[in-house]
Structures are given as C-alpha cells and as structure tokens.
Amino acid sequence: MTDQKPLLSVRDIKVYFNLDEGTVKSVDGVSFDAYEGQVLGIVGESGCGKSVTMKSILRIVEPPGKIMEGQVLLSKRDHPDEYLDLTSMNEKGKEIRAVRGGEIALIPQEPMAAFSPVHTIGNQIIEAIMLHCDVNKKEAREICIQSLKSVGMSMPEKRVDSYSWQLSGGLRQRAIIAMAIAGNPRLLIADEPTTAIDVTTQAQILKLLKDLQRERGMSILFITHDLGVIAQMAQYVVVMYLGRVMEKGPVDSIFHDPKHPYTQALLRSIPSAQKTTKIKLPTISGSIPHPFNKPKGCPFHPRCAYAIKGKCNVNLPSEYIVGDQQYVSCFRYEKSEVNIR
C-alpha cells in the first residue's frame, strides 16, 4: 500500500468561518490520503470538523466558510499519476461540477431531508445521471432503475416514481445511495449515513455499502462519530478533534495500540460487553470548548492528562511517525521521526 499512489490526497487543508463574533477555525490543517478500494474512516465528536472537511473536498463549503490554505488532490481517472487540484478550481465552475457526483459522490446525513419532497426520487436520480453520463432521458431512467435494483430496492420500476416521504427510512437511504453511485464515482463520501436510522436497518445499509465498494472497487470516505461502525467498516482511520487530526493509522493499530491520549480516552469510553466489573464508564473530562475560544497549542491539552505546561498549551505538535502508517500529533512522541510530506 505504501507504494501505491493515493486516489485522493487532502493536504493541510484549513477552512475558516469569518463571523461577526470572530473567526471559527473549523478545519485547521488536516491531511490524509485515501487509496483506491479502501474504506477510510474519519471519526470525531460532533463539531470536530468532519463534515466541513467533507464539504471542502467537494468544494461546497457554504459562506461565510472559506478554504484558507491547503490542497485537495484527486488522481485523474485515465492517468492515475496525474492529479487534479480541486482547491484551485472555480467553486461554481464546470470542472468541479464534473467531479461532484461524477468522481466523488456524497451520501448525505439526513436521508429524509436530502431529497426534495415535491419531486419524485426518480426525477432526482435521473437528473444526477444525466449530469454525468451522455444519455437521453429514457436511458437515464433505465440506469436509474438498475441503480435502484443494485442497492437492493424491491420493485424499482414502481418506486422510481414515488416521493421520498412515501419511503421508509431504510429505503430512503438506499435511494440516496442509488443516486450517489448512479454517476459511477470512484470515491464515495458517506457523511454519517446511518445516524438517522434504526440499528437493524443500519446493519443492512453498512453491509450494502461494503458490498458495493467491493463490487465496484470504489473508495469510501466514511465519516462518523460511532467507533463501532468505524471498526466494522474502515481499513484506515483518521481521528479528528477540534479541526485537527490527532492520530491516524490502520484500523488495528488505532483500536489496539492507540498512541494519542485523545484516542486512548475515546476508546476507553466505549462500553464493553465482556467486562463485567461494576466500575463507572470513564468519560473524557471537560467538554469541547466553544469554537471561538479554541485553546492555544494542542487543542486537546485542557482535557489531557499528560499535558505539559509551557509546551502543550503553547505550541502545536507536529505529526510523528509512531508505527507502520500510523501518525500522531502529540508531544509525547516528539522523539520519533517527524512525518514530512
């Protein structure tokens, strides 16, 4: 995997929101690579900048949000060695619109609200197909029905003409996935795709995504706050906190050998089915600071048990290599090699 060129490379991206009350640094220097055929998980508490990172990849950050720095590179479909710089494209231009849906598709958070209630789902999926494939309306409808069938929807010929509010939560999510894969993208960004649906349906949807990914050789960028889902889905995990990457590494290393105090604390706060000791489930002390009052230095230091005064609250740690493909941003590892890219 090390020699392979990444499909998508996010490099030191910074997204700031300039509000009247001050600047919110939603994403403050995030880097990671996604490889072909890989499920990359991004995990973090709400408000850590996961969704904004996703939006900055697609260049759909809403004003007043602005990408201040950094690059999002996408390898070309025909020449995998060459890269498109998405950040340099015009936000409303044709180039980026060809990427959205065509190369990188999105499965949004709320399946209910993601569809317009006054247009049929068919209408909305066909629209996506016609934007990226050179087909007429009739052919697009065929593709749409095929697509609905491939996400396991029964009676796709009938369902294509129904409205989103006529479908159950699970079916709606399937329709969303059908729309996302209809443009034949290479990367699927799933933004908390299972938060809004019940647990049994959630398992079905996760299985569907995994199957689709395997069949089509797609990559998936899986954004969630649910560590269990990440463990089940992802091969590589990026842990974010307050707009920064705390730690990233292969899923096994992250779960069995976490290095960053935040990752460690996060994992400890998962209830375990095996442990029967009646001790209180540890929580991470303190709460997430208000975005305007982001602490100086390492964002986690106010809640960190290992914080070193005069260091952690002053400087930002670099990314240190702590294992195979495992990087961590913490001064506890400053004797290790710095990850230079």
Q: Does residue 256 belong to the site contacting other proteins (CB under 8 A)?
A: yes
| Stretch 48-67 residues interacting with other proteins (CB under 8 A) | 55, 58, 60
Q: Does residue 278 belong to the site contacting other proteins (CB under 8 A)?
A: no
Q: Which residues pair with 83 in a beta bridge?
A: 75
**Closer residue to other proteins (CB): 203 or 307:** 307
Q: Does residue 295 belong to the site contacting other proteins (CB under 8 A)?
A: yes
User: Are 333 and 322 in contact, with CB atoms under 8 Å apart?
Assistant: yes
**Closer residue to other proteins (CB): 97 or 203:** 97
Q: Does residue 169 belong to the site contacting other proteins (CB under 8 A)?
A: no
CB of 283 to other proteins, least distance (A): 9
Q: Does residue 92 belong to the site contacting other proteins (CB under 8 A)?
A: yes
Tokens of 233: 């889905």
User: Are 30 and 12 in contact, with CB atoms under 8 Å apart?
Assistant: yes
Q: Which helix (H) or strand (E) holds 89?
A: none
Sheet containing 8-19: give its strands across.
22-34, 8-19, 65-75, 83-85
Q: Which stretch binds other proteins (CB under 8 A): 37-45, 94-102, 203-211, 216-224?
A: 94-102
- Position of tokens 């929101």? 17
Single residue of 37, 45, 163, 169 touching other proteins by CB under 8 A: 163
**Closer residue to other proteins (CB): 37 or 102:** 102
Pairing relationship of beta strands 187-191 and 219-224 according to DSSP bridges: parallel
CB of 4 to other proteins, least distance (A): 26
In order, the DSSP letters of 144-193 are HHHHHHHTT-SSHHHHTTSBGGGS-HHHHHHHHHHHHHHT--SEEEEEST
Tokens of 265: 């604390």
Q: Does residue 313 belong to the site contacting other proteins (CB under 8 A)?
A: yes
Q: Does residue 258 belong to the site contacting other proteins (CB under 8 A)?
A: yes
Using DSSP, state whether 279 is helix, strand or coil.
Answer: coil
Q: Does residue 264 belong to the site contacting other proteins (CB under 8 A)?
A: yes
Sheet containing 219-224: give its strands across.
104-107, 187-191, 219-224, 39-43, 236-241, 244-250, 326-328, 320-323
Q: Does residue 275 belong to the site contacting other proteins (CB under 8 A)?
A: no
Q: Does residue 187 belong to the site contacting other proteins (CB under 8 A)?
A: no
Q: Does residue 113 belong to the site contacting other proteins (CB under 8 A)?
A: yes
What is the chain's alpha carbon radius of gyration, rounded to the nearest angstrom?
Answer: 21
Single residue of 73, 84, 114, 298 touching other proteins by CB under 8 A: 114
Single residue of 29, 44, 49, 108 touching other proteins by CB under 8 A: 108
**How many angstroms separate the CA atoms of 236 and 229, rounded?**
13
**Closer residue to other proteins (CB): 165 or 214:** 165
Q: Does residue 332 belong to the site contacting other proteins (CB under 8 A)?
A: yes
**Closer residue to other proteins (CB): 203 or 308:** 308
User: Are 301 and 285 in contact, with CB atoms under 8 Å apart?
Assistant: no
**How many angstroms separate the CA atoms of 130 and 133, rounded?**
5
Single residue of 52, 179, 208, 240 touching other proteins by CB under 8 A: 179
- Applying CB under 8 A, the residues found at the interface with other proteins are 55, 58, 60, 92, 97-102, 105-106, 108-110, 113-119, 124, 127-128, 131-132, 163, 165-166, 176, 179, 183, 256-258, 261, 264-265, 268, 282, 284-287, 289-290, 293, 295, 301-302, 304-307, 309, 313, 322, 332-333, 335-336
